[in-house]
């Protein structure tokens, strides 16, 4: 009996900096291109490290990407024929993107979103927690803690300038495990009564 495989889903690739997210995203993009699928890649326009119109991993592998300032701009560039839509640094994209991703996946598009699941305070980052909840497939990568060598799920900011977004060179950050990760305003364990 022939079982029709329905296409369309959301995949999320997350983890701290230096965990290989962009490399994994690029790997999936290249595989789809080899299979002659129509692939579109977007990235937030604010992230201009390495290359303004490409996504680049720290190991210098890269792939062309369309930089977009917001969801409206993404919609203007969206190819209705695209079979795969990839988003890099999705934590910087706005909430307006969520219904768009849903619509794309519902109509058969494979959406792949890569991004930081936690900010440098260890808190959920931007739209990532929502994407993680809505995804069919989640890949949570780990880096290696640059202090103790354990597996690292967090990003330590080495320069304290305030704000959640600091787009910068790799030297501003380190991958850290839970135990070696420090935040400037750590509150300690949260009490059950909330105070
Ligand atoms: Zn550690």
Q: Report if residue 33 sits inside a domain.
A: yes
Residue 160 lies in a domain: no
Q: How far apart are the first and last CA of the chain?
A: 60
Q: Is 120 annotated as a binding residue?
A: no
Domain housing 81:
9-142
Report whether 177 belongs to an annotated binding site: yes
Above pLDDT 90, what percent of the chain? 72
Based on the structure, what is the number of domains in the chain? 1
- The annotation status of 19 as a binding-site residue, yes or no, is yes
Q: Is residue 85 part of a domain?
A: yes
Per residue in 36-46, pLDDT tens? Answer: 999 999 999 97
Q: Is residue 184 part of a domain?
A: no
Q: What is the DSSP letter of 124?
A: B
Question: Is 135 part of a structural domain of the chain?
Answer: yes
pLDDT tens-place string over residues 6-23: 789 999 999 999 999 999
Question: Would you state the pLDDT for residue 61?
Answer: 63
CATH code where residue 13 lies = 3.40.50.300
**By percentage, how much of the chain surpasses pLDDT 70?**
78
Q: How confident is the model at residue 192 (pLDDT cuts 50, 70, 90)?
A: very low
Establish if 46 belongs to a structural domain.
yes
The reply to whether 67 falls in a domain is yes
Rounded to the nearest whole angstrom, what is the distance from the C-alpha of residue 152 to the centroid of ligand 1? 7
pLDDT of residue 190: 42
User: Do the domain assignments include residue 22?
Assistant: yes
Q: How far is the CA of 54 from the centre of ligand 1 (A)?
A: 32
Exposure class string for 107-131: b at 16+ Cβ within 10 A, else e: eebbbbbbbbbbbbbbeebbbbeeb
**Mean pLDDT over residues 26-49, rounded?**
90
């Amino acid at each position: 009996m022939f079982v029709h495989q329905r296409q369309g889903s959301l995949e999320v690739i997350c983890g701290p900096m230096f965990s290989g997210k962009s490399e994994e995203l690029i790997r999936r993009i290249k595989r789809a291109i080899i299979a002659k699928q129509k692939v579109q890649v977007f990235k937030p326009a604010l992230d201009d490290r390495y290359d303004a119109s490409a996504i680049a991993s720290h190991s210098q592998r890269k792939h062309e990407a369309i930089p977009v300032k917001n969801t409206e701009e993404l919609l203007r560039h969206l190819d209705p024929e695209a079979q795969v839509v990839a988003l890099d640094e999705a934590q910087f994209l706005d909430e307006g993107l969520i219904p768009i991703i849903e619509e794309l996946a519902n109509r058969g598009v494979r959406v792949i979103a890569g991004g930081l699941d936690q900010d440098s305070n260890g808190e959920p980052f931007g739209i990532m927690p929502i994407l993680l909840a809505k995804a069919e497939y989640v890949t949570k990568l780990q880096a290696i803690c640059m202090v103790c060598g354990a597996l690292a799920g967090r990003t330590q900011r080495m320069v304290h300038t305030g704000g959640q977004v600091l787009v910068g060179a790799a030297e501003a950050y380190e991958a850290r495990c839970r135990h070696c990760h420090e935040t400037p305003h750590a509150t300690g364990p949260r009490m059950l009564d909330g105070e």
